[in-house]
Amino acid sequence: MGYIIKNATLVNEGTTTLASVVINGDRIEKILPGRDALPCAQTNCQIIDAEGLYLIPGIIDEHVHFREPGLTQKADICSESRAAVAGGVTSFMDMPNTNPQTTTQELLQQKFDLAAQKSAANYSFYLGATNDNIDEILKTDPKKVCGIKLFMGSSTGNMLVNEDDALIRLFNEAPCLIAAHCEDEQIIHENTVCCKDLESKGEVVADAGIHPFVRTTEACYKSTSKAVDMATKFGARLHVLHISTKSELTLFRNDIPLKDKKITAETCPHYLIFCDKDYEEKGFAIKCNPAIKMASDREILRIAIVDGHIDTIGTDHAPHLWHEKFTDSYFTAKSGFPSIQNSLDMMLNLYREGIVSLPQIVKLMCHNPAELYQIKQRGFIREGYYADLVLVDLNHEKRIANADMLYKCGWTPYDGMSAKSKVTHTFVNGNLVYHDGIVEDKIFGKQLEFER
């Protein structure tokens, strides 16, 4: 069965227009401008009257941790992809720090096989870099894999790549985009030791508020500048994830089109919403790596998503169980939190505040990820493209609550906050997978393809 979405306000490719969209199979068959515009033939089509609603391309979240395999007590592909489509995310790219870590082609394929059986959204997975797996990296098919994940800090196991020879080979030979977590491990280690010593002497209370003083601006800038220098030297395609500081922004350009950039940057909604003052109320709920930093960083990042220094918005969705987050000690509380179900809510709150426009949100969350990763026929509302579409009500105020989250961990750092928007319908490959608060459990997404 096909669908006709009529009288929607399309937000797409920098414009906002009234139109109808015809979905046939998994594709957008026709875009008809104007009110009550309908095709002559309407055989076997369900008509959705979207009067007063906004239609955007499905969000592409390039940065998630769905925890499968091996950490499924926290989250899994099924639970988190259901939360994703409820939040308007139709495609995701999942990170390799699972158990086992995704550092071989065999383990990578196992994750693709799992997603084919479980994921409500479209999917891809990163292969993780280590100091000694360059031969596995070179086997990567750039048309089927979103990228190589490089931890230049804040890693687990042996995924911290800190040997210069390994980094040189990676930046010189990687067959596709390198997505990097950049924090200097030595600086973080020294700051951690210092804080533990001060706490033992009673001079510091190690609560959540010390996080930006452990994982500092200096740690971020030193590591990011090294990654940018190496990518520049070797001509690598580098995408630096979760930028959290104003100082790092000086390393990125906004004077050339995205298609001409080889070095790009992502930030996350939580760096645009929260700042150091929020640790007092939210505590370990907003402890993440890199740390949420000062109000001045937040304000400059808000400018950067508009002026082009920041190219994409990803969530860094990283669930932990309640008891792992809310411990008695800063040093044992896990870093990371779930966020994918509310990422669009938070960005639309910024729209309501006049910080970013609707076309800019769509550019950062839909168009730019598709262009940057060279995803085949997604990220835009175009005839012939996959029908990954989201209808949003911008006149629906709600209170975000843990009880309404679809995450397996059952909580959100946005609990108690207000949102002035609501996802009403989510289509994945032409299938209506979410509507009226219900996820259709027997519809599955597809593996993303890349035009490289």
Integer Cα distance of 147 and 145 in angstroms = 6
Per-residue pLDDT tens over the stretch 83-95: 999 999 999 999 9
Reduce the DSSP state of residue 324 to 3 states and report it: helix
Q: Are residues 188 and 217 in the same domain?
A: yes
379 found inside a domain: no
User: Does 363 share its domain with 348?
Assistant: yes
Residue 65 has pLDDT above 60, yes or no: yes
Domain total in the chain: 2
Average pLDDT over every residue of 325-334: 94
Question: pLDDT (tens digit, 9 = 90+) per residue, 96-135?
Answer: 999 999 999 999 999 999 999 999 999 999 999 999 999 9
Long-range contacts of 379-382 (CB under 8 A, 24+ apart): 379/57, 379/58, 379/60, 380/12, 380/13, 380/57, 381/10, 381/12, 381/13, 381/21, 381/28, 381/31, 381/55, 381/56, 381/57, 382/28, 382/31
406 belongs to a structural domain? yes
Is residue 398 one of the residues assigned to a domain? Answer: yes
Structural domain contains residue 452: no
pLDDT in the model for residue 43: 64
Helix, strand and coil in the chain, % to nearest 5 = 35, 25, 45
What does the pLDDT read at residue 198? Answer: 86
CATH of the domain at 431: 2.30.40.10
Quick check: 92 and 123 in contact, CB under 8 A?
A: yes
- How confident is the model at residue 199, as a pLDDT? 85
pLDDT at 154: 60
Same domain, residue pair 240 and 331? yes
CATH of the domain at 363: 3.20.20.140
Q: Is residue 426 part of a domain?
A: yes
In a domain, 381, yes or no: no
Residues 346 and 391 in one domain: no
Asked if 13 and 34 sit in the same domain, the reply is yes
* pLDDT of 165 strictly over 80: yes
37 and 152 both lie in a single domain:
no
Residue 200 has pLDDT above 70, yes or no: yes
Q: Is 159 found in the same domain as 16?
A: no
Band of residue 38 on the pLDDT scale cut at 50, 70, 90: confident
What was the pLDDT predicted at 155? 57
Beta-sheet pairing, 2-12 with 15-24: antiparallel
When the pLDDT of each residue in the chain is averaged and rounded to a whole number, the result is 96
Give yes or no: residues 117 and 215 share one domain. Answer: yes
Which of the two residues, 200 and 369, has the higher pLDDT score? 369
Confidence of residue 206 (pLDDT cuts 50, 70, 90): confident
The confidence band for 388, taking pLDDT boundaries of 50, 70 and 90, is very high
Shared domain for 27 and 148, answered yes or no, is no
Residues 85 and 47 in one domain: no
**Claim to verify: residue 157 and residue 175 sit in the same structural domain:** yes
Q: Last residue of some domain: 318, 342, 373?
A: 373
Judge whether 240 lies within some domain: yes
pLDDT tens-place string over residues 236-295: 999 999 999 999 999 999 999 999 999 999 999 999 999 999 999 999 999 999 999 999
Range of the domain at 42: 2-55+386-439
Which of 315, 340, 373 lies at the terminal end of a domain, its last residue? 373
Domain boundary among 342, 373, 404: 373
**CA 182/CA 223 separation, integer angstroms:** 5
157 pLDDT above the threshold of 80: no
Q: Which of 4-18, 158-172, 221-235, 315-329 is predicted least confidently? A: 158-172
Say what percent of the chain tops pLDDT 90: 92
- Which of 351, 418, 436 minimizes the C-alpha distance to 11? 351
Q: What are phi and psi of 248, to 5 degrees?
A: -65, -30
If pLDDT is split at 50, 70 and 90, which confidence band does 171 have? very high
pLDDT tens per residue across span 180-199: 999 999 999 999 999 999 88
Tokens 């987050």 correspond to what residue?
325
Question: Is the model's pLDDT at 404 over the cut of 70?
Answer: yes
Give yes or no for residue 202 having a pLDDT over 90: no
pLDDT band at 36 (very low <50, low <70, confident <90, very high): confident
At residue 218, φ and ψ (nearest 5 deg) are: -60, -45
